[in-house]
Homo-oligomer: A and B are copies of this chain.
Amino acid sequence: MPRKTDFPVSRVRQYLEPGPIVLVSSKWRGATNIMTLGWHTVLEFTPSLIGLVISSGNHSHRMIRDSRECVINLPTTALTDTVVGIGNTTGAEIDKFEHFNLTAQEAEKVGAPLIGECHASLECRLHDDALVERYDFFIFEVVKAHVAVSPKHPETLHYTGDGVFMVSGRIISRRLQFRPEMLG
């Protein structure tokens, strides 16, 4: 399992803006669950706001709506088969932590567990549910972030539909072409 340390919540865009598949963990009335999710966007740096589409067809929807909390976990390509398995099963039938042999770690500010095997885990509290009825769109505030010490740019999975993922990881820097106020 990667060793994780505290990371500034205002900078989590580094991991989410590239658009990876994430694993969202939740807890409600003693039961935990995990879902795969590809429909998300950064909304604001400070407060650190993230929008997630959590379809009402998912077992996690009600758990997250009622607990008003979740953890957004970032898997790398090392967890590809786990990501697919979690997306193809339902928490109504199995205990996903147990079934996929994942480590539930205690979070600091929310009840939902961190997934130990993931590269990053972002503890989130529901910030605005204005669009939950209409679009299943939840706006969360990241209240605590844990990120693996290395690598800085892990290989991540980006879902295209139809069972196919693109892989990100190689980086190109254009830092010198940016105006200073655009960086940071």
Contacts and interface: CB of A to CB of B under 8 A. Distances in A.
A160 interface: yes
A92 interface: no
Interface stretch (A14-22, A64-72, A110-118): A14-22
A1 interface: no
A136 to B, nearest CB: 8
A51 B169 CA distance: 25
Interface stretch (A25-33, A34-42, A93-101, A141-149): A34-42
Contacts of A174: 80-81, 84, 163-165
Contact of A39 (B17, B153, B182): B17
A169 to B, nearest CB: 6
Contacts of A172: 77, 80, 157, 164-165, 167
A104 interface: no
B135 A43 contact: yes
A162 B135 contact: no
A177 interface: yes
10 contacts: A13-B161, A14-B160, A41-B53, A84-B177, A88-B177, A135-B139, A158-B158, A158-B168, A165-B172, A166-B171
Interface of A: 11, 13-15, 17-20, 38-44, 49, 51, 53, 77, 80-81, 84-85, 87-88, 128, 130-131, 134-135, 137, 139, 153, 156-179, 182-184
CB-CB nearest 10 A-B residue pairs: A19-B19, A163-B175, A18-B158, A41-B41, A166-B168, A168-B168, A163-B178, A84-B174, A167-B170, A14-B160
